[in-house]
């Protein structure tokens, strides 16, 4: 039986604030996310969108809907208000100049919870950014937003404190926007090292503080909650299951109107071999949703790996996909195609984007489409159509720019082989045409950078504020490539120095916005590092090999990472020329060193160092490890005495001794959990 349910005027009023647009493909109208069934029946309807009749119908699913557009009528059927809302998003895209083509649409999502987790390290998006994101999520049918920025102190290390009044006012605005766009707005608490004291009084005091904080968030209006244990604290699965169960049973269940609890565990990566995952999977209540990032911190999500993790967790994983996040390499933008996720009955799936929110929308456009209808998802069409839809005033230039800004890693080995295709079209031309192809591509890049510099400040000012230094560097890099291909040393030096100055300005701008503790995380901006920059460098080395003033200036070789801890040994380094420092930093994940495990740096030939600085997040690694140095590249080691200041190890070594390798080693008889904030050595000039 079908009966009238939803107030048409209210839904159409929400629709009326959105612009009507049209996106057509070669085979007709293209709607995003791609509907399960879209059948065009010919002609257009004389009915207007405000004339649509919205009815309740059973059997369409929680968010499913059916649309029938006839010659004179438009009918929407849905089981819930969310389904009716999503139907109107589809009608908006079907409309052409106010007219709707006659058609039938039947649709529902594949994944029940689809959306975004603000879970990166770096400057949070802020209220205005989140409000804009809520509109974007509603438009493209994403229904889950998890608030958990690592750098919100009231979410993390000051979680016991109530939010100040200005935060509360902003949360009210965000909750209203989430309701309007049918987004479940989760607030997450990150408990870190809490609950580690097993004494009953201490444990009860921690729970009392947790209930106070959760009650305060409930009073603000939150009905969706998550608890995070990632990257901080010890991996105590029994404790984490107990806390999760207590939150569910003693808080959420008693309130009676809350969504299922989402938990990000301490061990959030890998297959079914994790003891932690088996324990929390067995102990945690079965309706608690448990998160997982894949086989790596950043990785493709395969059905086989997901099934193995599901076996350990005793439930389908809730995927926290670390793409297009760039907090571990903030010098890069990630604006490529969405791909690498298999079809699977996930309990939920959220993307962890960049702190560059506007630049993340290309990826989010793809993720929304993929999670709604995986079988009909076309990565290629989605990416091209998404850029055209988001940036119609500069689509060609944006496509050129984005095609060279996709891969978050300079070396795929750094993250277990995970990478994104970047500059692939150019590489095919390079293999056949060599330097001529490089000149053509770089000329196209120069033109794209110039076009974006003219158009974006007016047409997309928020995006321009985020990416303007990258666009400028993209142009300088292209001029560098043309000069390298043609062997023009003067033009090459000019372009390289222009790029360095853009990087300096970008870094200074970043540091002017960042708190002091966050300023070391940005090393300027780079573009096209996976392929194009390497080709440019190879051409430059060949062109200028006999010009040592150019060659030595731009191609210094100073060192590599080494060690038994692969998560560290695989990380790249950077050379800070102004102070002659070789630096390893921005390793955000919590690491574990077994007794005898070590990590370090090995210098290149003829390079030695005179000072060591090691900054851990906690004193445990300082107390349980030692620093050793080597004169023969790590063949033999000797201990060195450094100063200790809490979590810091630092001091001079004999500059004349010729030390060319340094390492920290776990000298204790137990595993040591640690994080590296910064590890650098001063090079002997």
Question: Residue 578, Cβ neighbours under 10 Å: how many?
Answer: 6
3-state secondary structure of 431: helix
Query: Given a cut of 90, is residue 307 above it in pLDDT?
Result: yes
Question: Per residue in 14-29, pLDDT tens?
Answer: 333 333 233 333 335 7
Same fold, 412-553 and 556-683: no
β-strand pairing of 289-292 with 262-264: parallel
| Mean pLDDT estimate for the chain | 91
* CATH T-level assignment (fold) for domain 556-683: Jelly Rolls (2.60.120)
Which CATH number is correct for 3-107, 3.60.15.10, 3.40.50.10490, 3.30.379.10, 3.10.20.30? 3.30.379.10
Least confident interval from 261-265, 514-518, 613-617 = 514-518
What confidence score (pLDDT) does residue 11 get?
A: 42
User: Is pLDDT at 483 greater than 60 in this prediction?
Assistant: yes
If you average pLDDT over residues 172-184, what whole number do you get?
98
In the predicted structure, residue 6 carries a pLDDT above the cut 50: no
Contact 486, 439 (CB under 8 A): yes
Mean pLDDT (whole number) for 250-273: 95
Helices (H), 514-660: 532-544, 548-554, 566-569, 620-624
Give me the residues paired with residue 65 across strands.
78, 107
β-pairing, 598-603 vs 661-666, is antiparallel
DSSP 13: H
Q: Mind listing the pLDDT tens digit for each residue in 411-429?
A: 545 556 788 999 999 999 9
Task: Give the global pTM.
Answer: 0.86
pLDDT, tens digit, 9 for 90 and up, residues 101-143: 999 999 999 999 999 999 998 889 999 999 999 999 999 999 9
Of the pLDDT bands very low, low, confident and very high (cuts 50, 70, 90), residue 514 is confident
pLDDT band, very low/low/confident/very high, at 12 (cuts 50, 70, 90): very low
CATH of domain 114-390: 3.20.20.80
Q: State the average pLDDT over residues 57-70.
A: 95
> Which one has a higher pLDDT value, 253 or 617?
253
Q: Quote the pLDDT of residue 329.
A: 86
Which three-class secondary structure string do you get for 452-463? HHHHHHHHCHHH
Q: What is the pLDDT of residues 539-590, one digit of tens each?
A: 999 999 898 888 878 887 788 888 998 878 767 677 776 668 888 876 777 8
Burial code of 243-271, b = ≥16 C-beta within 10 A, e = fewer? bbbebbeebbeeeeebbbbbbbbbbbbbb
Domain 412-553 in CATH 1.20.58.460? The answer is yes
- Count CB atoms within 10 A of the CB of residue 66: 20
Query: Is the pLDDT higher at 122 or at 75?
Result: 75
Domain boundaries, the chain: 3-107, 114-390, 412-553, 556-683
Question: Per the structure block, which two tokens stand in for 407?
Answer: 């891969």
């Amino acid at each position: 039986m079908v009966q009238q349910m939803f107030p048409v005027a209210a839904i159409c009023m929400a629709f009326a604030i959105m612009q009507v647009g049209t996106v057509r493909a070669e085979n007709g109208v293209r709607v995003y996310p791609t509907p399960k069934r879209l059948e065009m029946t010919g002609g257009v309807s004389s009915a207007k969108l405000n004339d649509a009749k919205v009815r309740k119908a059973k059997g369409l699913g929680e968010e499913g809907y059916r649309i029938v557009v006839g010659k004179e009528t438009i009918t929407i059927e849905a089981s819930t208000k969310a389904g009716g809302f999503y139907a109107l998003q589809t009608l908006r895209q079907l409309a052409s100049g106010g007219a709707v083509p006659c058609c039938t649409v039947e649709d529902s999502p594949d994944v029940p919870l689809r959306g975004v987790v603000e879970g990166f390290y770096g400057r949070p998006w802020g209220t205005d950014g989140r409000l804009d994101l809520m509109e974007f999520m509603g438009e493209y049918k994403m229904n889950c937003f998890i608030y958990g920025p690592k750098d919100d102190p009231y979410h993390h290390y000051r979680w016991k404190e109530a939010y100040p009044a200005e935060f509360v006012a902003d949360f009210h605005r965000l909750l209203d926007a989430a309701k309007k766009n049918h987004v479940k707005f989760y607030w997450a608490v990150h408990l870190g090292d809490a609950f580690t004291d097993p004494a009953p009084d201490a444990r009860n005091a921690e729970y009392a503080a947790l209930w106070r904080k959760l009650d305060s968030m409930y009073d603000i209006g939150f009905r969706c909650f998550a608890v995070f244990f990632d990257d901080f604290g010890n991996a105590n699965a029994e404790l984490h299951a107990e806390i999760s169960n207590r939150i569910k049973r003693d808080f959420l269940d008693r309130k009676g109107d809350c969504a299922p609890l989402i938990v990000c565990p301490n061990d959030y990566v890998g297959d079914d071999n994790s003891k932690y995952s088996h324990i929390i999977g067995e102990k945690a209540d079965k309706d608690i949703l448990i998160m997982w990032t894949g086989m790596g911190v950043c990785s493709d999500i395969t059905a086989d790996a997901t099934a193995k993790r599901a076996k350990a967790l005793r439930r389908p994983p809730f995927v926290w996909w670390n793409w297009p996040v760039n907090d571990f390499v903030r010098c890069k933008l990630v604006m490529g195609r969405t791909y690498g996720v298999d079809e699977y009955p996930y309990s939920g799936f959220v993307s962890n984007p960049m702190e560059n929110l506007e630049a993340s929308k290309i990826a989010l456009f793809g993720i929304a489409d993929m999670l709604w209808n995986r079988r009909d998802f076309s990565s290629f069409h989605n990416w091209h159509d998404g850029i055209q839809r988001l940036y119609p005033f500069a689509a060609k230039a944006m496509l050129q720019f984005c095609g060279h800004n996709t891969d978050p890693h300079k070396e795929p080995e750094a993250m277990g082989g995970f990478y994104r295709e970047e500059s692939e079209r150019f590489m095919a031309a390079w293999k056949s045409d060599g330097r001529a192809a490089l000149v053509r591509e770089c000329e196209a890049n120069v033109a794209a950078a110039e076009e974006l510099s003219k158009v974006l400040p007016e047409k997309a000012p928020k995006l321009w504020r985020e990416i303007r230094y990258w666009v400028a560097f993209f142009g300088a890099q292209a001029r560098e490539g043309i000069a390298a291909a043609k062997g023009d040393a003067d033009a090459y030096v000019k372009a390289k120095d222009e790029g360095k100055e853009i990087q300096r300005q970008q870094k200074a701008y970043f540091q002017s916005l960042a708190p002091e503790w966050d300023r070391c995380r940005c090393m300027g901006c780079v573009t096209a590092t996976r392929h194009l920059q390497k080709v440019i460098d190879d051409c430059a080395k060949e062109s200028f090999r006999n010009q040592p003033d150019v060659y030595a200036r731009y191609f210094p070789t100073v060192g590599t990472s080494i060690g038994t801890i692969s998560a560290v040994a695989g990380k790249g380094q950077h050379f800070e020329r102004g102070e002659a420092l070789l630096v390893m930093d921005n390793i955000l994940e919590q690491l574990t060193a077994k007794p005898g495990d070590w990590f370090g740096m090995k210098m290149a030939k003829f390079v030695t160092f005179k000072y060591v600085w090691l900054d851990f997040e906690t004193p445990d690694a300082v107390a349980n490890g030692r620093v050793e140095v080597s004169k023969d590249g790590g063949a033999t080691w000797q201990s060195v005495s450094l100063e200790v200041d809490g979590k810091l190890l630092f001091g001079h070594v004999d500059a004349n001794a010729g030390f060319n390798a340094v390492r920290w080693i776990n000298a204790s008889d137990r595993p040591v959990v640690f994080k590296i904030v910064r590890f650098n050595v001063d090079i002997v000039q």
